[in-house]
Amino acid sequence: MSDWSKAVSRFQAAGPGSETTSGNRGLQIEEPLIFEQGADGRTGVDLPAPPAAADRLGGLGRKGAIGLPGLSEPQVVRHYTRLSQKNFAIDSGLYPLGSCTMKHNPRLNERMARLPGFGDLHPLQPESTIQGALELMDQLATWLKTLTGMPAVALSPAAGAHGELCGIMTIRAALEARGDMRQRILVPESAHGTNPATAAACGYAVESIPANARGRVDLAALKAKLDGGVAAIMLTNPNTCGLFESEIVEIAEAVHKAGAFFYCDGANFNAIVGRVRPADLGIDCMHINLHKTFSTPHGGGGPGSGPVVLAEALAPHAPLPWVVHGPDGFRLVEHADGASGTSGTIGRLKGFHGQMGMFVRALAYMMSHGGDGLRQVANDAVLNANYLMAGLKDVLTASFEGPCMHEALFDDRFLKDTGVTTLDFAKAMIDEGYHPMTMYFPLVVHGALLMEPTETESKDSLDQFIGVIRALAERTRQPGAAEWFHEAPRYTPRRRLDETAAARKPMLRWRPPVATAEAAE
């Protein structure tokens, strides 16, 4: 077989049923794995010969090949450029993924994080050479403390879930310090999965508290469960139904009366930033996802950053390191000791000092908006969500009455008897050029559709979106709708993928096609 015939047959190995020879569809280009493109003796870097030196690897030098493919720089650039083109992103369209806060990511923040004085700084440099970095951490801490009204903040947690771990550990440390060994944590049914997973990871039994008909915590049910065995409640506010917990002050009082702590999941802080200070709600501890409220990019799943603000009672238990002011400038306290007041610390949660790259981006964002702009962020986020709600509530079924905060929650009652599911509806949105909303979460309503437009969408953009969703909702009532929706998406690089097969016989890495080559011989 000629090399060009082989090249075409390799295209077809990607899958049958294509209308073009290559399987490509215009700008949608089939792209093999890097492992299928390598050649021996090719590389994308030019390195000098190593200087002459004896081997001191202790006889443990690598014997076999690693198995990495060789590619040149143009191949690598094209490969990852093509992969990028198979992704939906906030840069390219409305991404109403509720709870995830897909807002615009300003590029100034990227530039700032790459200043050599921040990006090319080693975490173990002598203190005299990192004063600006510690100053930046101190300023970020000041902004976060001011916005939340809390006296202390732990910067090191790497994401929201890591912040939860930090918060629950500080609560446990505070309880232990007063000899109070409590066993349970209360978590509303509507909570994000990380909340119960975190509580369990810290050795607590998790007890669920139900929601009332208004989508808020059922205060009576909560009070009935509050006793001397409860260490904390983990409550999201605004909650995952996009609603402000209107009885939150009463909740805090009841929790404190029982001697327990109030942990707030601050993933939705973007709805109230600059307008409500969590300290004024009676919250003892709250993580903030810098990758949500403060616009650090989600990067296809990370990295994030999850600082935790702490009330007076929890502050002594904050994780190491601490940034403190000394006589000669800023200092990092890295060990627990009485002299620096850190003897109550829960210890270290992560290598080094936290997600500095995210700190720089978040501070650039805060300084850009200022106190006034951040308040406007909350206003516009809430206004946009309520506008979505107003535009859709007669065609989709809103789960709860009244104004929402930063996200609008619908359930699947509007799909009753259509044969169309929430999932089908979401996949049809993809064909219309939208990323789907969050689906089947929160668990308190059936077939949830949770839409968060964020403050960075224009009114035009929302009008188009509402128009499309209304048309789709109408379409669910037309003959043949079930099949039509079930076929979606049609215009994506891939149609629906078989997730059951993926889990039944997991293929989690590429392997060279040795077996088939041998079989052919």
Partner 1 sequence: MRYLPLTEADRRDMLAVIGAPSVDALFRDVPETARAADIDLPPHQGELEVERALSAMAAKNVAAGSVPFFLGGGAYRHHVPASVDHLIQRGEFLTSYTPYQPEVTQGTLQYLFEFQTQVALLTGMEVANASLYDGATATAEAVAMANRVTGRRRSVLSGGLHPHYREVVDTLARFVGFRADAQPLDPDGGEDLAALIDGGTSCVVVQYPDFLGRVRDLRPLAEACHAKGALLLVVVTEIVSLGALTPPGEMGADIVAAEGQSIGNGLNFGGPYVGLFATRDRFVRQMPGRLVGQTTDAEGRRGWVLTLSTREQHIRREKATSNICTNSGLCTLAFTIHLSLLGEDGLTQLAAINHAKAVQLAGRLAAIPGVTVLNDSFFNEFTVRLPKPAAAIVDRLAERPIIAGVPVSRFLAGHDDLLVVAATETVTDADMDALVTALEESLR
Ligand X SMILES: Cc1ncc(COP(=O)(O)O)c(C=O)c1O
| Residue 494, contacted partner among ligand X, partner 1, none, CB below 5-8 A by kind | partner 1
The closest alpha carbon to 290, from 377, 353, 359, belongs to 359
| Residue 209, contacted partner among partner 1, ligand X, none, CB below 5-8 A by kind | none
Structure token digits, residue 285: 């501890």
Dihedral over alpha carbons 499, 500, 501, 506 (to 10 degrees)? 80
Which residue, 183 or 477, is less far from partner 1 as judged by CB? Answer: 183
Query: What are the E-state strand segments in 225-360?
Result: 230-236, 261-265, 285-287, 308-310, 322-326, 329-333
Q: Is the dihedral of CA 69, 70, 73, 74 positive or negative?
A: negative
Find the binding residues for partner 1 in span 437-496 (CB under 8 A).
Answer: 441, 455-459, 461, 487, 489, 492-496
Rule CB under 8 A: is residue 346 a binding residue for partner 1? yes
Find the binding residues for partner 1 in span 155-194 (CB under 8 A).
Answer: 158-162, 164-165, 169, 172, 192-194
Q: Do residues 306 and 163 lie in contact, with contact meaning Cβ atoms separated by under 8 Å?
A: yes
Stretch that binds ligand X, among 29-37, 153-161, 374-382, 428-436 (CB under 6 A): 153-161
- Dmax (CA) for the chain in angstroms is 80
Helix extents (H) in 193-289: 194-201, 219-225, 248-257
Q: CB of 229: closest distance to partner 1 in angstroms?
A: 17
Q: Do residues 368 and 267 lie in contact, with contact meaning Cβ atoms separated by under 8 Å?
A: no
Find the binding residues for ligand X in span 480-509 (CB under 6 A).
Answer: none
| Residue 265, contacted partner among partner 1, ligand X, none, CB below 5-8 A by kind | ligand X
| Residue 480, contacted partner among ligand X, partner 1, none, CB below 5-8 A by kind | none
Which residue, 71 or 158, is less far from ligand X as judged by CB? Answer: 158
Q: CB of 243: closest distance to ligand X in angstroms?
A: 13
| Residue 99, contacted partner among ligand X, partner 1, none, CB below 5-8 A by kind | ligand X
Q: CB of 48: closest distance to partner 1 in angstroms?
A: 7
Q: Which residue is nearest to ligand X (CB)?
A: 160
| Residue 110, contacted partner among partner 1, ligand X, none, CB below 5-8 A by kind | partner 1
Which residue, 192 or 418, is less far from ligand X as judged by CB? Answer: 192
| Residue 361, contacted partner among partner 1, ligand X, none, CB below 5-8 A by kind | none
| Residue 236, contacted partner among partner 1, ligand X, none, CB below 5-8 A by kind | ligand X
What SS3 state is found at 71? coil
Rule CB under 6 A: is residue 240 a binding residue for ligand X? yes
Q: CB of 28: closest distance to partner 1 in angstroms?
A: 10
Find the binding residues for ligand X in span 55-114 (CB under 6 A).
Answer: 99
Structure token digits, residue 395: 């065609």
Q: Which of 278, 304, 307, 319 binds ligand X (CB under 6 A)?
A: 304
Stretch that binds ligand X, among 158-166, 246-254, 404-412, 419-427 (CB under 6 A): 158-166
Which residue, 51 or 480, is less far from partner 1 as judged by CB? Answer: 51
Residue found under tokens 């940034």: 323
Strand partners, 265: 236, 287
The closest alpha carbon to 440, from 97, 94, 83, 4, belongs to 97
Structure token digits, residue 232: 């904390």
Site string for ligand X, 218-237 (x = CB under 6 A): ------------------x-
Q: How far apart are CA 271 and CA 274, in angstroms?
A: 9
Count of other CB atoms within 10 angstroms of residue 40 = 7
Structure token digits, residue 498: 């078989």
Find the binding residues for partner 1 in span 410-439 (CB under 8 A).
Answer: 426-427, 430, 435-436
Q: Do residues 396 and 449 lie in contact, with contact meaning Cβ atoms separated by under 8 Å?
A: yes
Structure token digits, residue 412: 């699947």
| Residue 23, contacted partner among partner 1, ligand X, none, CB below 5-8 A by kind | partner 1
Stretch that binds ligand X, among 122-130, 155-163, 205-213, 278-286 (CB under 6 A): 155-163
Q: How far apart are CA 91 and CA 102, in angstroms?
A: 10
Q: How far apart are CA 109 and CA 412, in angstroms?
A: 39
Q: CA triplet 499, 436, 295: central angle to 5 degrees?
A: 110
Q: Do residues 364 and 109 lie in contact, with contact meaning Cβ atoms separated by under 8 Å?
A: yes
Which residue, 2 or 339, is less far from partner 1 as judged by CB? Answer: 339
Site size for partner 1, by CB under 8 A?
215
Structure token digits, residue 441: 């979460």
Q: Which of 270, 289, 345, 456 binds ligand X (CB under 6 A)?
A: 289
Rule CB under 6 A: is residue 342 a binding residue for ligand X? no
Find the binding residues for partner 1 in span 69-108 (CB under 8 A).
Answer: 69-71, 73, 76-77, 79-81, 83-92, 95, 97, 100, 102, 104-106, 108
Gyration radius of the chain's alpha carbons: 26
* Cβ-based neighbours of 484, under 8 Å, separated by 6 or more: 428, 475
The closest alpha carbon to 187, from 262, 277, 288, belongs to 262
Residue found under tokens 């700084």: 121
Interface with ligand X (CB under 6 A): 99, 159-161, 192, 194, 236, 240, 265, 267, 289, 304, 306
